[in-house]
Amino acid sequence: MSLPIVRAAVALEQSDDLHLSRLLILLRAATKTRKGANPKTVEGIMKLAKLDFLLRYPNCLERVLKAQDTSIEQANVQEYERKNIETKMIRFRYGPWDERYRRWIGLLVARGLVITYLEGKTVHIGLTERGLEIATQFSLLEEFSDLESRSQLVISAVGKKTATVLKDFVYQVFPELLSMRWGEEIKL
């Protein structure tokens, strides 16, 4: 692999815009409601991180589908995606995590694309009308078609689970995460 390609991959991974776009598409899939209903939210940053883990690691999404006796073909994972995970997540106390989630959510709030509020000890994350419009525009672009379809698949597969149930399920499907040290990069 040439150095310019490596540099481009690193720059892309460090680009907030790429991650913000992906989170908008995921939040759109997770918070769809019928017209006139109160907007839904993702209940908890850790839940958002687990949903995003399955979106960023499509080979892991396949394992989740398999564990649920669902066809893995729906994930449409390409061969290069099986061998080439460019996104970095680490083993954290409550599951896969990227230390940038709070920053990304803050950026989305600052841009008026996401609202957050605290209910008890849980941070709720939801799209604003503007955020929904932009997420919908992204979802219609060919460049984001895989993210769009996989976001829908992630939500239909595990989106209704609570954060705690989802954490336990992730550890059941990926027991190797339990033997990793906290802070260790996940390479599945």
Dump strand ranges (E) for the chain: 42-43, 90-92, 95-97, 114-119, 122-127
Q: pLDDT for 113-139, tens place per residue?
A: 999 999 999 999 999 999 999 999 999
pTM: 0.82
pLDDT at site 90: 47
Higher-scoring residue by pLDDT: 187, 5 = 187
Give the integer Cα–Cα distance in Å for 59 and 136.
25
Q: Does the pLDDT value for residue 143 go beyond 50?
A: yes
Those residues whose C-beta lies under 8 Å from the C-beta of residue 178, and which sit 6 or more positions away, are 171
Q: How confident is the model at residue 34 (pLDDT cuts 50, 70, 90)?
A: very low
pLDDT at 78 over 90: no
**C-beta of residue 101 within 8 angstroms of C-beta of residue 94:** no
Distances (CA, A) of 68 to 39, 40, 156: 28, 25, 12
Cα gap 116→108, rounded to integer Å: 10
Mean model confidence pLDDT for the chain: 82
What mean pLDDT do residues 98-126 have? 93
Q: 51-60, 73-82, 124-133, 145-154 — which is least confidently predicted?
A: 73-82
- Does position 98 have pLDDT exceeding 80, yes or no? no
